[in-house]
Amino acid sequence: MSRIAYVNGRYAPLHKAFVHVEDRGFQFADGVYEVFPVYCGHIVNCDWHMQRLAQSLLGLQIEWPISPDVLRAILMEVLRRNRIRDGGMIYLQITRGVAPRNHAFPGANVHPSLVIIARSVDMAARHLQAQTGVRIISVPDTRWARRDIKSVALLPNMLAKQEAAHAGASEALFVNDRGIVTECASSTFWMVSQDGRLLTHPLGHAILPGVTRRAVMVLAQEMGLEVAEEEFDLQKVITAREAFLTSATNFVMPAIQIDAKIIANGVPGPISIALRKAYIDKLKKFD
């Protein structure tokens, strides 16, 4: 079955979906994106993803191309046309639009561009990976200063992920110039401290406000776990009882090694396992 995309008001087979060569997203990375996870045929945490999209658009001063309510309807139609049932994702991108190349914002007659695509995700492979845990590496955090905006300008993230791939790892963990762990290239980083607290970096300009991060934080508190948003360095991670990542399509993914250091005993920890199970159980209640 051909995958179907939505581009500026039209549905088209993916191989026939195009944007203009002077789209500012292509020339300047002047745009934002959002990833809507799909599980059991439903869009997960849709309201929170829409809220984050609104904040990203505000951060770059880009107007909504269509109303949020109409956008929700299109997301559902893209999901239906691509027949994604078990697990998948919907990728949405909004740019400032098409205009002659100039660094300053174009005039008021330019309309934002909207692109939406969807694809299935092999959830069985993700579940299998979670049983053994993943390796990550640490890299310097060279990103721009407004990481809370989900911008399409992802060059440092891409380079970090490629460095991880070269090292045979699944993810790269950013460490800033003060030695503080911020987040991963495409996920939120968590650790379980020696006193049993769940720690993750505070919200602000330094990290993306992860939607799965938000959902897992609520879930952890419901489970009676103590959650703290505070800064910590790489040495504290190495001595952690557990570590894990959260993201839209990985849910809760245990991390068992960072660089050459094994975390705890090198297997997924009980808190990571319990959180992943509880999160998936909650998603299954959509059916």
- Active site residues per annotation: 150
Output the pLDDT for position 179. 97
Residue 47, CA distances (Å) to 37, 68, 71 in order: 12, 10, 12
CATH architecture of the domain with range 126-284: Alpha-Beta Barrel (3.20)
Adjacent-strand bridge partners of 192: 198, 242
Q: Which of 255, 241, 109 is nearest to 187 (CA)?
A: 255
Output the pLDDT for position 43. 96
CB atoms under 10 Å from CB of 266, counted, come to 11
Tokens of 102: 């100039």
Output the pLDDT for position 2. 76
> Can you give the pLDDT of all 287 residues of the chain as single tens digits?
579 999 999 999 999 999 999 999 999 999 999 999 999 989 999 999 999 999 999 999 999 999 999 999 999 999 999 999 889 999 999 999 999 999 999 988 999 999 999 999 999 999 999 999 999 999 999 999 999 999 999 999 999 999 999 999 999 999 999 999 999 999 999 999 999 999 999 999 999 999 999 999 999 999 999 999 999 999 999 999 999 999 999 999 999 999 999 999 999 999 999 999 999 999 987 64
Output the pLDDT for position 286. 61
- Delimit the domains of the chain by residue range: 4-121, 126-284
CATH architecture of the domain with range 4-121: 2-Layer Sandwich (3.30)
- Give 29's Cβ-side CA count (13 Å radius): 9
Distance CA 77, CA 74 (A): 5
Output the pLDDT for position 1. 56
HEC letters along the chain:
CCCEEEECCEEEEHHHCCCCCCEHHHHHCCEEEEEEEEECCEECCHHHHHHHHHHHHHHHCCCCCCCHHHHHHHHHHHHHHHCCCCEEEEEEEEECCECCCCCCCCCCCCCCEEEEEEEECCHHHHHHHHHHCEEEEEEECCCCCCCCCCECCCHHHHHHHHHHHHCCCCEEEEECCCCEEEEECCCEEEEECCCCCEEECCCCCCCCCCHHHHHHHHHHHHCCCCEEECCCEHHHHHCCCEEEEEECCCEEEEEEEECCEECCCCCCCHHHHHHHHHHHHHHHCCC
